[in-house]
């Protein structure tokens, strides 16, 4: 059975015969009650009563009608039914109270409206309420869909902060030993800082322990002929096997992965997460211009991310060379 066929015309709460006659001429069928409490019981408890419009006489008073309408609007079955207050003999103060408290969908003197105009008015209120209800339902569904994502990011960020702080505290002696070893072997900065590109192409400072001599960039031209990727059109990598610019401590740090430890500070700062795809240097990120290659910037950049790296390597030749170069 269609909804329109199952609806029971009008439901009028009041005693004015002229209003009832007008509603019968429009809908041919309906219900009428002279008592507010009786009407509430019928509307809430009798499922076969589903009117197309509910009309209430204002003579019952604002307080009683407000309580009555609140209960009706909380009912899922009646929530979409327009509610009209007949304003005949209503004074300005009562009219203001009804409007301010949004007691009904409209307030009008029904005797002043022709049957056709009243019918069009009710049809308009029906469409308006249905559309409003659909929008509210859609917004609620969207909020429910967004909430798990926000909660996941909140918990993930909290976990990143907790684990990075604990790791920095526990590994602090290791940091000191590595820093001392780097400084004893060669003068220069203890940390190597480079610009990297993370999620959403955000640029940030990326920290590692320095593994090369302080003048490594100045000496780069001496080893151009040994570059493993001299003709690569995909990247701007410069990589030399057994690079002579690397220090002894640096080679040990690279082989053991200890040069990556300062990235815990990147995790703490929120630049990267513990698990995610590796952030790329700026010149490499510039080459990832296609939609397929650019997917790596959708996920958060991370300190580690074996599974993500495997996906990236399978789809991005640049990343495979970058993995060997970092």
Each domain of the chain, given as residue ranges in start order, spans 3-139, 171-325
Cα–chain center distance at 116: 46
27 burial level (CB within 10 Å; 0-12, 13-18, 19+): middle
Least confident among 92-106, 208-222, 251-265: 208-222
Task: Name the DSSP class of 113.
Answer: S
Q: How confident is the model at residue 288 (pLDDT cuts 50, 70, 90)?
A: low
pLDDT at site 99: 87
Q: In what helix (H) or strand (E) does residue 194 lie, and over which residues does it extend?
A: strand 191-197
Rounded Cα gap, residues 10 and 31, in angstroms: 6
For the residues 107-120, what does the mean pLDDT come to?
91
Rounded Cα gap, residues 122 and 60, in angstroms: 22
Across the strands, what pairs with 194? 206
pLDDT at site 298: 56
Cα–chain center distance at 19: 50
Helices 115-170, 172-185: crossing angle, 10 deg rounding? 60
Rounded Cα gap, residues 250 and 171, in angstroms: 18
Rounded Cα gap, residues 110 and 118, in angstroms: 8
For the residues 275-300, what does the mean pLDDT come to?
62
Q: Both tokens of residue 133?
A: 């209800």
Q: How confident is the model at residue 19 (pLDDT cuts 50, 70, 90)?
A: very high
Q: What's the pLDDT tens digit per position in 178-211? A: 999 999 998 889 999 988 887 767 788 999 999 9
Q: Is the pLDDT of residue 12 over 90?
A: yes
152 burial level (CB within 10 Å; 0-12, 13-18, 19+): exposed
pLDDT at site 90: 86
Domain 3-139 carries which CATH code?
3.40.50.2300
User: How much of the chain, in percent, has pLDDT values that exceed 70?
Assistant: 77
Rounded Cα gap, residues 312 and 277, in angstroms: 8
Whole-prediction pTM:
0.46
User: Are the beta carbons of 238 and 220 closer than 8 angstroms?
Assistant: yes
Q: Both tokens of residue 78?
A: 């009646």
pLDDT at site 156: 86
Q: How confident is the model at residue 56 (pLDDT cuts 50, 70, 90)?
A: very high
Q: How confident is the model at residue 323 (pLDDT cuts 50, 70, 90)?
A: very low
Size of the chain, expressed as the number of residues it contains: 326
Q: Both tokens of residue 161?
A: 């902060």
């Amino acid at each position: 059975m269609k909804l329109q066929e199952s609806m029971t015309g009008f439901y009028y709460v009041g005693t004015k015969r002229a209003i009832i006659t007008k509603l019968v001429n429009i809908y041919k069928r309906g219900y009428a009650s002279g008592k507010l409490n009786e009407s509430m019981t019928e509307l809430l408890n009798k499922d076969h009563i589903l009117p197309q419009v509910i009309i209430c006489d204002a003579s019952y008073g604002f307080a009683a009608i407000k309580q009555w309408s609140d209960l009706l609007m909380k009912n899922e079955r009646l929530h979409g039914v327009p509610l009209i207050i007949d304003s005949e003999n209503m004074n300005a103060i009562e009219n203001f109270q009804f409007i301010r408290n949004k007691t009904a969908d409209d307030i009008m003197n029904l005797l002043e409206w022709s049957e056709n105009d009243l019918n069009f008015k009710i049809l308009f209120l029906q469409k308006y309420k249905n559309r409003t209800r659909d929008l509210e339902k859609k917004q609620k569904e969207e909020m429910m869909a967004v909430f798990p994502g926000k909660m996941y990011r909140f918990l993930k960020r909290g976990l990143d902060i907790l684990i990075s702080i604990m790791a920095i505290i526990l590994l602090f002696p290791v940091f000191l030993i590595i820093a001392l070893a780097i400084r004893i072997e060669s003068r220069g900065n203890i940390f190597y800082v480079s610009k990297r590109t993370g999620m959403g192409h955000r640029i940030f400072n990326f920290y590692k322990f320095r593994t090369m001599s302080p003048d490594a960039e100045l000496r780069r031209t001496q080893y151009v002929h040994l570059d493993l990727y001299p003709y690569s059109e995909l990247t701007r990598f410069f990589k030399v096997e057994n690079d002579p610019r690397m220090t002894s401590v640096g080679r040990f740090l690279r082989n053991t992965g200890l040069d990556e430890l300062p990235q815990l500070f990147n995790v703490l700062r929120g630049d990267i997460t513990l698990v995610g795809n590796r952030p790329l240097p700026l010149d490499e990120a510039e080459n990832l211009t296609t939609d397929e290659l650019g997917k790596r910037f959708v996920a958060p950049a991370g300190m580690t991310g074996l599974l993500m790296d495997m996906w990236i390597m399978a789809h991005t030749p640049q990343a495979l060379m970058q993995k060997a170069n970092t």
